[in-house]
Homo-oligomer: A and B are copies of this chain.
């Protein structure tokens, strides 16, 4: 099956039978009917429908190199200079639908898988079978429009355990047995976002260090269907809602995060992408330009989200009749500045795209890293704006149900705006409340803040994206007419 539509997406997910737990109870009904997942799944389905919509299909798909049938453009490895821009258009169509609130719209993981695929060559030296596995899996996902999630962060105790416990006692995710059928894995992963509402899961822990020359049981990457025997999913507290009026965001975009436990799960041989050598893992991600391709998808999300905030601040200002206060103009101008900045950084990344050694075009990484350094603080600044602009008015807001109840006439009489009905005004304030004070918004803020790792990780990535630090130092030394010292510390990098 080439690209799927929304119904097909839903059907496939509903067929899964996970060992899935929420609040101490196992969930057994079809996920698309369950309040925890139904809203999000409708949104995901709409995204899949979009790629089948004749109006968009051309820009959302390309002919499969295997069958000629249309497959998702997010799988397209950019082999031609224009592919980067084609990918951008595709991403923009999707992010215009979810306004940047989905961390795991399909293009995200498709892009991740595509990036690894482009570096499959490096696996050849390691083990040609792994190279073939990765290429086959990529083709399988592309041809069947598999919906993917991923897992790589381990719980605190698991991380520590790999460093201090003996291999036997260690609770770090590891291969505990290799047999004819495959690799037996045990371990736990935090935060498989949308783990439940995807078909399969890509798993690639950051490997714990291990004695050189030994086979490192902590070093591996694989992909599997979600419902393999031995996998358990445990949900965090949900923000999901059924009411688009009361919770316009949670009712659409609540992506559940899950703790995933592997208890002696058997990974088939053909689903393992590397094993035993942590350096292979590092190179796969770095040669695949993982963070850069992903960064290109993310900036599209940043742009959509910033536009949403721009509209929100302007709507909220108009509703409160303060659109032309200098203070509000200043805030609006600041969001416009953010928007111009992210758009410009994307243009710069695309302009600066270069072919890598495998022949694929890769956007310039520094502008994308710049966007991921700027966004967390810019995002918090936008949230702060709507909090200040909404002020105490976003606390006391009735429900939709109140409007149609016996006391609805009071609400209609007293809570309208200058030109808006109570119903419309409340709708706007509920949105601001959800984003600026509700738990959906709280999770979004944390999510954006740590999306790409903590600040230190992101800073190092940026620092290392330049290879001409010496030139900048030289500029100062030339200006002062003094001699540049040799950098002894280079090896410390």
| Interface contact B414-A171, CB-CB below 8 Å | yes
Cβ of A209 within 8 Å of any chain B Cβ, yes or no, is no
A242 to chain B, nearest CB (A): 12
A327 to chain B, nearest CB (A): 9
Q: Interface size class for chain A?
A: 35 or more
Interface centre among A191, A246, A311, A344 (most CB of B within 10 A): A344
A476's partner among B312, B321, B341, B487 (CB-CB below 8 A) is B312
A97 to chain B, nearest CB (A): 11
As a 0/1 sequence over residues 441 to 463 of chain A, the CB contacts with chain B under 8 angstroms (1 = contact) are 11101110110001110111011
| CB neighbours of A419 from chain B (8 A) | 485-486, 488
| Interface contact B310-A414, CB-CB below 8 Å | no
Interface centre among A22, A258, A373 (most CB of B within 10 A): A373
A373's partner among B321, B337, B388, B477 (CB-CB below 8 A) is B337
| CB neighbours of A391 from chain B (8 A) | 446, 449-450, 454
A234 to chain B, nearest CB (A): 5
CB nearest neighbor in B for A477: B315
| Interface contact B396-A258, CB-CB below 8 Å | yes
CB nearest neighbor in B for A450: B392
A348's partner among B244, B308, B340, B366 (CB-CB below 8 A) is B340
| Interface contact A480-B428, CB-CB below 8 Å | yes
Interface centre among A190, A320, A341 (most CB of B within 10 A): A341
Within 340-359 of A, Cβ neighbours of B (below 8 Å) are at: 340-341, 343-345, 347-349, 351
A354 to chain B, nearest CB (A): 15
Complex Cα distance, B329 from A465, in Å, reads 12
- What would be 27 A-B contacts, judged by CB atoms less than 8 Å apart? A21-B402, A156-B417, A157-B414, A190-B396, A234-B398, A236-B398, A258-B396, A259-B414, A311-B472, A311-B474, A312-B476, A314-B469, A318-B485, A324-B493, A330-B455, A332-B469, A333-B460, A336-B463, A340-B366, A341-B374, A343-B348, A351-B351, A387-B449, A391-B446, A391-B454, A424-B482, A427-B482
